[in-house]
Structure 1
């Protein structure tokens, strides 16, 4: 009623998250799509959020992200560090009162598709704070003198918002200052980033992300007390992903999820999600279930960052041979089980494998 679009998005995000938790994924996504319309009716009533903008292009330097409806699946040290980070951020007032407050900076690094952006959104949702996303590669102005000004604008904007600041693509700017190939201006930009991080008060939550950690200046590393390397998912996490994205939590498909987890070794979380959603789309549009054989073939042909989406065409002999070898090498199942999945006799499975060995 007050035309406060930020509050509308925040509350709408909370509702969408709850809908997703209750397995109403379509409803959650529909609500998120409505929220992404940027509040045109509210702007018509005189309200518009004053985001910092590039002086030349007039494009926003920062955008308000949405709390995600897709779950994040972490294990091991990464999961423990994230839990500790969230707990510390939730009790920053108590820690400050006791004189042990710490800078709430978390650096996420690892290959693309491992969930860095998704994780930043979940941290904001856990803390019930808005998420502001600054992609540092987009802050670089063609007029080099404007780049440092853009960065300062980001760090001046966020502290009063009680938000999570997500600095994506940090390697775009925060490169090694002694790199002889960098212009002097970009070296000064690194110092602007450092000064901006130092200017933040202890209650500001900052999450940085990079796919190329080796490019970051050591001084940048020191500004983030919490560091998490997000690697490709292990077998247990892959199994959970297949169960969630493909089988929608059906306990009767756990064995299939585990088989897919073994075969998809080397794929990232985004690859698994894309293949699973493609399989569900084909099933809906063809009005028939996608066979496990087709999904396994798509997985076997995929590479990290380049998933192969499946179709429902009939398997030919070459497909069956490829699938047999894949299940034998990676599936860890018997020839009888391979025969059931491929749709051939056990003797034919033996023949396919013998041809491979003879070849």
Structure 2
């Protein structure tokens, strides 16, 4: 269009060209922040060492209250750098997110970048491992230098891939030197950008790594209230009775597990032309059948005591007889 209007409408043509020059792209994700430099490439494969998150505005993550407070504090520090500067302070430059898979670490990083209006750059550390180990340190330096060049949020995913314990006898010397390179780069990180790292295996990290981060946030598996909020977010207008039942069948599961269940139910409902509620109930009951009698009974009792569900309905959902539920309740009261 810019080419087409070059002769008939010069102003429009130039405006379109300016828009294209300033718009971020996969090759230059920080162009709208004044940095048109392309993302760094691996010297061997010529593939990008970093990718820009292109999933659009992030939904507000469902987090336990203490975790939510820490993440929001991190956001507030970077949104109010001038107020901190008046007191001679700088915002937290780096944060380490630990916890099992599917508990919201990446989603929290995406939400922070969205709140701060900065591009989110994601580095999967396994992708920078060059076939020539001596180049891996160079790859990491190139990525970190690129992220430092403009205000951004950089997420180092699967940090344990690289930052393993240096006393691990199974690791070669080059990888141990790589940990040293990474620690130096973390120490030099500027306050103008935010460096986040995520790991599912904190026990594998070199002890020196923990001390280098300004903030460490340990994401636990969600509790009942967090699962209930997440299921409500994923499934929309589904009755609280059904959601309470699903929460108890998902005990010990992650947010990712809960989302997979809802998405599976949505697909099943669409294919079988049935209500989402019925599909969710069926999947919940499938999970229940995989449990032993003691767990099924406890879920039935919990539904009656905490879910404001009648004994009859709890029996229908769990397959446990009403007499059995009543006896367990009497035993617990005694």
TM-score bin, normalised by smaller chain:
0.7 to 0.9
Q: Is the 8 A contact 2:246 2:284 kept in 1?
A: yes
Q: Is the 8 A contact 1:107 1:227 kept in 2?
A: yes
Is residue 2:321 matched to residue 1:349? yes
Q: Is the 8 A contact 1:240 1:257 kept in 2?
A: no
SS of the residue corresponding to residue 23 of structure 2 reads helix
Query: Which one of 166, 172, 188 corresponds to residue 155 of structure 2?
Result: 166
Q: Is the 8 A contact 1:5 1:49 kept in 2?
A: no
Q: Which residue of 2 aligns with 1:51?
A: 39
Cα 1:331/1:212, change in 2 over 3 Å: same
Is residue 2:36 matched to residue 1:63? no
Cα 1:254/1:277, change in 2 over 3 Å: same
How many angstroms apart in 2 are the aligned matches of 1:107 and 1:298?
37
Q: Which residue of 2 aligns with 1:260?
A: 246
Is residue 2:164 matched to residue 1:175? yes
Q: How many angstroms does 1:74 deviate by? A: 0.8
Bigger drift between 326-335 and 113-122 goes to 326-335
Q: Which residue of 2 aligns with 1:190?
A: 179
Q: How many angstroms does 1:119 deviate by? A: 1.1
Q: Which residue of 2 aligns with 1:294?
A: 282
Aligned length: 295
Is residue 2:246 matched to residue 1:270? no
How many angstroms apart in 2 are the aligned matches of 1:302 and 1:172?
34
How many angstroms apart in 2 are the aligned matches of 1:6 and 1:301?
56
Cα 1:341/1:124, change in 2 over 3 Å: same
Is residue 2:128 matched to residue 1:139? yes
User: TM-score if structure 1 supplies the norm length?
Assistant: 0.74
Q: How does 1:25-104 map to 2 (within 5 A)?
A: 38=26, 50-66=38-54, 67-104=56-93
User: TM-score if structure 2 supplies the norm length?
Assistant: 0.79
SS of the residue corresponding to residue 321 of structure 2 reads helix
Q: Is the 8 A contact 1:264 1:300 kept in 2?
A: no
Query: Which one of 123, 129, 140 corresponds to residue 118 of structure 2?
Result: 129
Q: Which residue of 2 aligns with 1:25?
A: none
Q: Deviations over 1:315-347 (max 9, x none)?
A: xxxxxx9997585366445441134447x8xxx
Q: Deviations over 1:247-271 (max 9, x none)?
A: x1x3x71232222212211110001
Cα 1:5/1:174, change in 2 over 3 Å: farther
Q: Is the 8 A contact 1:243 1:253 kept in 2?
A: no
Cα 1:225/1:93, change in 2 over 3 Å: same
Q: Is the 8 A contact 2:58 2:114 kept in 1?
A: no
Q: Is the 8 A contact 1:165 1:207 kept in 2?
A: yes
**Structure 2 unaligned regions, length at least 5:** 1-15, 28-35, 326-334
Cα 1:225/1:61, change in 2 over 3 Å: same
Q: Is the 8 A contact 1:92 1:203 kept in 2?
A: no
Q: Deviations over 1:104-162 (max 9, x none)?
A: 21110000111111111001001111000011111111111110000110111011221
SS of the residue corresponding to residue 100 of structure 1 reads coil
Q: Is the 8 A contact 1:135 1:169 kept in 2?
A: yes
Q: How does 1:201-280 map to 2 (within 5 A)?
A: 201-246=190-235, 248=236, 250=237, 253-280=239-266
Q: Which residue of 1 aligns with 2:10?
A: none
SS of the residue corresponding to residue 208 of structure 1 reads strand
Q: How many angstroms does 1:284 deviate by? A: 2.1
- The CA RMSD measured in Å over matched residues stands at 3.0
